[in-house]
Chains A and B, each alone.
Chain A
């Protein structure tokens, strides 16, 4: 009960901070806010107070608070297109990183082509929404299915080779994929493709919102959809981790020989994790494409794949909450602090190196699995 109260308080503080940060425009005030956040983060980490609250509060409660925080923040910022766009992007990238997390964090399958599978989802959505009359929610799932399907191309090499070689193969795939998009005329070549407006039931996503006295940006709908989709997959991924499958994937990652000796089919589980992960990344890609309205090969460059991987390393491999935090940092920081914009890759590289050196388990290390009764 006490921890629930503390969790509520922390959620309120974080929400207020995010509101201030997203509203702030003058560079000095943004810098001060970020400095404050860093200081608070250091204090929280040192005193382990956050970790204690986190360990004490039930998972459902924490998820509920996070969900509520996003809703409140979105309502506070209802007219602010840019902030809402940023928030939605954060949600979508968290979703994509969840996919990577299943692959790399749980099963230990490297994937440096995350942006490519994101792209498969996006291009699938673009093609399907212009050439078919499939319901758009179904198209999101098709984006995931297409990404999972394209992923099977990489299965054999990923299963046969280990470590660095598997990584190199996914890198090669990422580079090839981008080139393929650029030279392929049916996919729009370098100019890319436009998408239709997202329509779900009675909701046309590009219309401004007017409900009596309430007026809001059209981005609110995208944000709401992204939040719902993310919540579903977030819950599923957490369930996956807290199940026999979670244990199995961990064992496959940690010791293939011991795992095989106890009957674990290594290939089957790597394929499962890789396919599930790509599916999630594909759904995220489709959602993102609908929101932006057009897609081009440039959006799916290898550098974007690297960003996804660095988010994972930064946040804490295997911890969905950690990667949510890392995504917020990686996306919001360069957008709010313009001095950083140009040097963002340099900055991320430095952050990843520092993390690997001084906090190898990431900003929010993965907690032990809570599979025990009552956990």
Chain B
């Protein structure tokens, strides 16, 4: 197995608290890795360290065989890792389209001359991106494409979640990190969202790490699972293997 992402001894502390404890992770291309664990077990912290928002206290991260441990968030995004946030972080006053274009930053021309003077070229780039944004939104929820130019703050919570996933997807990253993308959705809506994500995943050949509390979702869409508890990996494997694991049942499923 050649790993797309591999972490060795990844550790992050907050004062005395060890939020990530010497974590070893290998993720191969094309995986959908489910990341599970009780509240406060370090799942979000793992994403934050991976994306450079928090520097690692120890250990290293490699992506496509290059060391990326000390990259800033901008650098992590540029090499093809995009994410969503557990608590929605859209720019609510901006339109859905604007938000998506924030996600597409690395593919847009930000030169002053291009933006202020070459308006025809800019217009063409805008039109291409409007089409791409419509197409992507349509995959998730067709009516959403019609609201492309409405403020993100004016659309329902569920749609905002979808927009956030699309914002992470639109730059066509290699690795997508989803932090509870279905928070606040009903069971049906969650399954729907996950199916849509899977569809895009297959089409683009994406690799995904998904944090999700609902076990039925994990069972249905992930190819591999990893369980965290107090910042430590306590189990990994397929869902079937992991759910049989006694430690997991005690720590997470709350079973005796």
- Asked if B77 and A262 sit within 8 Å, CB to CB, the answer is yes
Binds A, one of B10-18, B99-107, B203-211, B216-224: B99-107
The residue on B at minimum CB distance from A372 is B149
Would A244 and B93 count as touching, CB distance under 8 A?
Answer: no
Interface of A, secondary structure class, is helix
Question: Chain B contacts of A239 at CB under 8 A?
Answer: 115-116, 119
The residue of chain A having its C-beta at the shortest distance from the C-beta of B88 within the complex is A258
Shortest Cβ distance from residue B151 to the other chain A in the assembled complex, whole angstroms: 6
Are A369 and B98 in contact, CB atoms less than 8 angstroms apart? yes
CA distance A259 to B102 in the complex (A): 7
Count the B residues whose beta carbon is within 8 Å of the partner chain — how many? Answer: 43
In the complex, the answer to whether A255 meets B89 with C-beta atoms within 8 Å is: yes
In the complex, the answer to whether A262 meets B110 with C-beta atoms within 8 Å is no
Residues of A within 8 A of B101 (CB): 244, 247
Is B214 part of the binding interface, using a Cβ–Cβ cutoff of 8 Å? Answer: no
Q: Which of B29-37, B120-128, B194-202, B239-247 contacts A (4 or more CB under 8 A)?
A: B120-128
Interface 0/1 of B83-98, CB less than 8 Å to A: 1010001111111011
Chain A CB within 8 A of B51 CB: yes
Residues of B with C-beta under 8 A to A371: 97-98, 126
* Docked-complex contact A368 and B149, CB < 8 angstroms: yes
Tell yes or no: B192 within 8 A of A by CB.
no
Interface centre among A247, A257, A262, A272 (most CB of B within 10 A): A262
A254→B130 contact, CB < 8 A: no
Kindly supply a per-residue 1/0 record for chain B positions 115-159, scoring 1 wherever the CB is within 8 Å of any chain A CB and 0 otherwise.
Answer: 110010011011100100000000000000000111100000000
The docked-state distance in angstroms from the alpha carbon of A4 to that of B123 is: 24
> Closest Cβ of chain A: how far from B153's Cβ, in Å?
11
CB distance from B224 to the nearest CB of A (A): 25
A247 touches B102 (CB 8 A): yes
- The answer to the question of B55 belonging to the interface, with a C-beta cut-off of 8 Å to chain A, is no
Cβ contact within 8 Å between A240 and B94: no
Say if the beta carbon of B108 comes within 8 Å of chain A.
Answer: yes
Which single residue of chain A is at the shortest CB-CB distance from B149? A372
Chain A residues contacting B151 (CB-CB under 8 Å) are 368
Which residues from B are CB-within-8-Å of A272?
112
Indicate whether A240 sits within 8 Å of B130 (C-beta atoms), given known contacts A257-B53, A262-B82, A369-B94: no
Partner pick for A369 among B53, B77, B95, CB 8 A cutoff: B95
A372: contacting residue among B73, B93, B112, B148, CB under 8 A? B148
Nearest residue in B to A236 (C-beta to C-beta)? B116
* Minimum Cβ distance to chain B for residue A102 (Å): 12
1/0 per residue, CB under 8 A from B, across A239-263: the answer is: 1100111011011001101111111
Whether A250 pairs with B98 at a CB distance below 8 angstroms is yes
- Nearest to A264 among chain B residues (CB) is B105
Q: Which residues from A are CB-within-8-Å of B97?
A: 371-372
Q: Are A243 and B102 in contact (CB-based, < 8 A)?
A: no
Candidates A262, A263, A373; contact of B126 at CB < 8 Å? A373
Contact status of A263 and B91, CB under 8 A, knowing A247-B101, A257-B53, A372-B97: no
Most-contacted residue by chain A among B51, B98, B108, B125 (CB, 10 A): B98
- Residues in chain A near residue B115, CB distance under 8 A: 239-240, 243-245
Question: A260 touches which one: B73, B82, B85, B116 (CB < 8 A)?
Answer: B73
Report the Cα distance A248→B78, complex, angstroms. 16
| Cα distance A26–B83 in the bound complex, in angstroms | 65
Does B232 sit within 8 A of A, measured CB to CB? no
The answer to whether residues A254 and B116 also contact, given A261-B73, A373-B127 and a CB cut-off of 8 A, is no
B105→A262 contact, CB < 8 A: yes
Closest 7 CB pairs of A and B: A243-B115, A263-B77, A258-B89, A254-B91, A260-B73, A263-B105, A251-B102
